[in-house]
Each structure stands twice: as C-alpha cells, then as structure tokens.
Structure 1
Amino acid sequence: STTSGIGVYWRLEKFIRHSESEFLGSVGCTGAIYAIRSALFKPIPPDTILDDLLIPMQIAAQRFRVRFTRQAVAKELRKPDPKWERRRKLRTLAGNYQLIFRHPRWLLPWGHPQWFAFLSHKVLRLCAPWFLLAVYTTNLILAHSGSASSFWSVFLLAQSLTWLTAATGVIVPRLAFPPFSICATFFWLNLQVVLAIFYWLNRDYQRGWASHREGVDHVQSP
C-alpha cells in the first residue's frame, strides 16, 4: 500500500517546492527536467549524487532565484515497482547526507541565502525518525509516571494505533487505501531515512544508477 501513498507524498512535495519558489526560490529541481543559465553553472564533484540539488543551491548562492513552474512537465509512464522506488529514495536521501557534510555552512543563516529552506525542507526530514522515536519514548515514560498519566496513556494509545496501522499497511499491501496507505507510506519513508545512512556510508551509490524501464510505454517531456 506504500505505492498508492507515494502519490500523496509527491503532491505534498510539489506543494512545498511551489511555495518555496513563490517566497525566496526553490532549493532543488526535478532532475528529469530543469534548465539553468549556462553562465551560472559551476563545476561539481564527479561523485555528486544530487546534481539537481547542488546546482540550484550553487545558483542561489550567487543571489539568483530558482523558480518552480507547473507548466514544465516530465512524465514517465511505467508500472509501479516498489524495489525501484526504494532504490531511488535511498539514493536521494544519501545525496542529502552527502551535501550536508560537504556544505555544513548551508545550515547557518550567514552561510547561504536559502539556509532556512534547506534546513526545513532537506535537513529536518532526516531528523524525523529520531524525533518520532524520542516522542514515543518520552510518551512511554510519561504514561507510567504519577502525574497526568491517564492523559499520556491516551496519547500513547493513539501513537501505538498509528504505528500499528502503518505496520499493517506495509505487511498487507492489499490495504491500499487510507488510513493504511498514508500511515504505511509515512513509516516507509522514515525507514528509508535510517537505511540511507548505511547506503551513504557504504558508498552503495557508487555502483551506478540505472533508471527503470520495464513496462514503460513511452516517456514524455513536454
């Protein structure tokens, strides 16, 4: 059911990118279709994972604005493939880790014009699994404390039911409808954030990248 929930994730991602673009500019581009002024291009390391994030950030550092336009469309018609989607997500997240460690100044207000958007959009999502674990652990402790334990017990029950719904959605793919699909996708995405750490540290991304082509009728990039 994570496959159906991915659509919700992409709609949210596009909304965030469009909102960033309207404010100060987007912090990244869609790798399948983006254009830049050639004069603004700066060479990037050959082992860069996310060129469609590094290049726009370099351009924004030159005080130029990166715009997201809904009129530019790239479509790839293919059969849903969870394995391909997992590999793509791991690679993307590993690229975020790579850029953070290579450009730590981007996290500082004086380090990059788009520091806040980069921090809130790209960095905080990498912290989400650890925040969730901390919230659940804290809730577990408070539920067994003497003060207001009944309130925290209800909150703990709500959290537990949410994670149970997510686990059920992952284990039983036939439940491809809300709330199972959304909870399962939320769990799956946060799991990939953790796994991407090892994907990046083991340099699995250096094995190369092949786009999925099985079941593709045609690719359209108007």
Structure 2
Amino acid sequence: MRFDLLPPVAGRVKRGAISPAVWLLFFLLSAASSLSAQETRPLDKRVNFSTKNVSLQEALGALRTISGAAISFNYEEVARQPRITLHLTNETVRYVLEKILVQTSLQYIEDDNGGVILSPRRNRKDQVRGSLGFIVDGQVVDRKGFPLSNASVQVVGEKYGATTDANGLFRTVVNEGMVLRVSYLGMKTVDHAIRGRDFVRIMLDTVPIVMNDYVVTGYQNIDPSGC
C-alpha cells in the first residue's frame, strides 16, 4: 500500500518545497523505528523462565524458543555440564543466560547480530580481589537435585560468606585450600573443600528424626486404702 504525502511535482523537487511538518514527521518515524529495533534485541527481552533438573542443552533450547535469540555452542562441551534447575520471573534473556551459565564451566560472548556463542570459561583465578583470592560460584541442592534457598555458606576460618538465592546459587571469594561450611535447617552441615574449582555443586542430606522411646504399661486399679 502506498501513501503520497505530497502531490508529485514535475522536475527536481526543491528542499524548501517540503513543509517543516513533513520533515518533523519523517524524523519522528525514524526515531521510533530506531527505538523499536533497540527494544526488540533478543537478549534484552524480558521473559519468565522455569526449568527443573534438565540438561543444559534442554535449558538453552527452551531459552532460545521463548526469546528468539540465536545461541551457538559445542554439543560435546554442553553435554559435560551439570543439569539445570532455575526459576526466574520477568528477567532479561541476558540475565537468565548468565544465571544458567554460572552453574557451568561455560561463558558467552555476543556476536554482531545479537546472538551469543558459548565457549569454555577462563579460569576464575585470574579474577583476583586483593589478597583474598578468586571468585567461586556454586549451588546448594538436596539429594533429589532441588535447589535450597537461604542456605548459609560460610568460609571456614573467615568472617564472611554468602546466602543462597531462590535457585540455590551463591557467590563468594576464597583462596586455594579454603573450605566452605554449608548449613540449612533440617539438613546435615557439610564442609566442602574448594580445591581450585570455580564452580561447586554441594548436596545436603536430611537429618534423620529420632523418636524418644516410650513404654506403655496400661491402666491399673489402685486401692485407695493402700495409699
């Protein structure tokens, strides 16, 4: 469908022949088109994302389906990664992808077309914070792989630590050989040695409930005169 804003003029059209209002309309349409293009970038879309104990490939496929983002990766690298449990509401695709990959040994880079390419993450030991050491990420789960939120993650021998979020994820700073002490109500406390890894998955067991022993002797008739 074609719309002629001005009637055709024979010969060369002078710039002054187009009214300022028309130039303003062109400018506003161009600006709106540019703004719309920026807002529709796949990584900037806001989505709801929920997965439970699925493979990384399945999680990436689900994210690609709801966002339209092009995600390229090596299938062998992805197959070696842990299973993913994640529940996020109204977050950008970029944030969701970061939360997914923080559970793995992979990172992503953006290409010129708004897509992403996954590659092995560089060693976190290169990311030094003063004399403390390197950053370590982790997830605390139960024996069935379900994340535990608000679990306490304390660096043994230090006065700092972290608390897990709704997806059981945490981040803290450690040094080589340090130990994380993880505790959660109703679960056994676990000491977990870092051993140079930059992502740890810590599994907690429930504390068995021990019932007190009671002996039932039944009812007895007592003669009041014998009291």
Is the TM-score greater than 0.5?
no
Q: Which has the higher helix share?
A: 1
Structure number with greater CO (CA < 8 Å, separation at least 6) is 1
Which TM bucket (shorter chain)? under 0.3
